[in-house]
Amino acid sequence: MKKGKESKPHIGIFGRRNAGKSSIINVLTGQNVAIVSPHPGTTTDPVKKSVEIFGIGPVVMIDTAGIDDSGDLGSQRVKKSREIINAIDMAILVLSENRFNHYEEQLLDAFYEMGVPCLFVHNKEDQQPLEKGLEELINEKSGQRVIEFSALHPVRFEEFVNAIRQTMPATAYRKQSLLGDFLRRNDIVMLIVPIDTEAPEGRLILPQVQVIRDILDNNCVAIVLKESEVDAFLHNTGIKPRMAICDSSIFEKADALVPPDIQLTGFSILLAYYKGEFDSYLKGTPAISSLKDNDHVLILESCTHHVTCDDIGRVKIPQWLGNFTGKKLRFDVVAGLNKLNRPVSDYALVVQCGGCMITRKQLINRLKPALDRGIPVTNYGMAIAWMQGVYDRAIEPFTYKNRDK
């Protein structure tokens, strides 16, 4: 799973070979999306499928290889399956034949480490029912019950789906408002959108679209214009927006254009507040000023895209960081949810994009290794605001004293 290109909640299906993982995902999706065979090891690479679950909405189901796979190829398959844990919001651990030992216990340890809730399902109950001793053991180890199920005769389907709803963290599927904490009905929000070489042909980028929709959902008014039109709009109309939101790359221009009595922030900072780890960004951003010669800086993109000469993550931010610090810095850029090229402990700073293309859980897990080691993390928008001298103004709408206004 190299890319996190779905912002829907992700559910990983784990278990031993021939436990019925693929059969279960086929039952849940109502389609034969995963190959089913009586031969162990049929599933090799993870398989993704979107499905609608009532009470949650659209989710992405991920079928994985057996955790007991063997041999050189089998070890690689198991490794890929375990890497999925970083990208999921909940796990379903499929058991069968009352087997539970170090394979399952190692998975549980990994789930616990990454904060992933787990639903236990004992499959093939029509062939061998769940033994009370195993149920008690799992309850003792995890505090969770075990759902009995048969993918061949899914008479307990509703009970199974209801258990998924109960296990899935609400934060994974309940859509919070991007701006709901800051707006009142009929407020006007001005969006300053540069049209440059990075702007997609004939459309807006995803964060801009998401913010426009959120403004409408909050019964407010969105005004969208280029930076070249801001001064004329404010002068000719006399309209005073409650807030202005700009692309991070033009913070300095926007700061000069937008009167100081109008709140100003950026799309990337708004996503940072919405997606999580905002307080970690607040703590880590000032570390930009302490970078030294030959420090390694990790830039994390959440999607893959065509790189232009004005690319914000690969070109502009490295240039700005070098100019601002006056140091010779070394940069690594990692796209999607790809693995790092070097140990995270090698980096003096991690700069994460807004994360519009990945889930909140994926973003948090992406930053966790750095945070666990005390490495400063920041966000595209917050880093740019710091370097362009508008940091205090850009984060001001999100400070605790302003959140309830």
Contact in structure between 336 and 303 (CB atoms under 8 Å): yes
Distance between CA atoms of residues 302 and 282, nearest Å: 20
Quickly list H helices, 341-390: 360-372, 380-387
Q: Which residue has the tokens 């940091």?
A: 391
pLDDT for the residue numbered 357: 79
User: What is the CB neighbour count within 10 angstroms for residue 138?
Assistant: 22
What pLDDT, in 10s, does the model give residues 82-91? 888 988 989 9
Across the chain, how many H-helices and E-strands are there? 14, 14
The model's pTM: 0.73
Q: Which helix (H) or strand (E) holds 157?
A: helix 157-167
Domains of the chain listed by start with CATH number? 10-172 (3.40.50.300), 188-270+390-402 (3.40.50.11420), 278-387 (3.40.50.11410)
Distance between CA atoms of residues 290 and 129, nearest Å: 61
pLDDT for the residue numbered 37: 44
Quickly list H helices, 221-314: 230-237, 251-257, 267-275, 278-284
**Residue 113, CB-side half-sphere exposure with 13 Å CA sphere:** 13
**Residue 44, CB-side half-sphere exposure with 13 Å CA sphere:** 3
Q: Which of 18, 11, 70 is nearest to 46 (CA)?
A: 11
**What share of residues in the chain are helix, strand, coil (percent, to 5)?**
40, 20, 40
DSSP string for 166-216: HHS-GGGTS---SSTTT--TT-EEEEE---STTSPTTS--HHHHHHHHHHH
Distance between CA atoms of residues 335 and 167, nearest Å: 30
Going across the sheet that includes 347-352, the strands are 330-334, 296-300, 347-352, 377-379
Distance between CA atoms of residues 57 and 172, nearest Å: 10
Spell out the per-residue pLDDT of the chain, length 405, in tens: 433 445 688 999 999 999 999 899 889 887 655 444 454 444 445 788 888 887 788 899 999 989 988 878 888 888 888 888 988 989 999 999 999 999 999 999 999 988 899 999 999 999 999 999 999 999 998 889 999 999 999 999 999 999 999 998 877 666 678 898 889 999 999 999 988 656 666 778 888 999 999 999 999 999 999 999 999 999 999 999 999 999 998 999 999 999 999 999 999 999 999 887 899 999 999 999 999 999 999 999 987 555 555 688 889 999 999 999 999 999 999 987 788 889 999 999 999 998 887 888 888 888 999 999 999 999 999 999 999 999 999 999 998 545 444
Q: Which residue has the tokens 């003792």?
A: 140
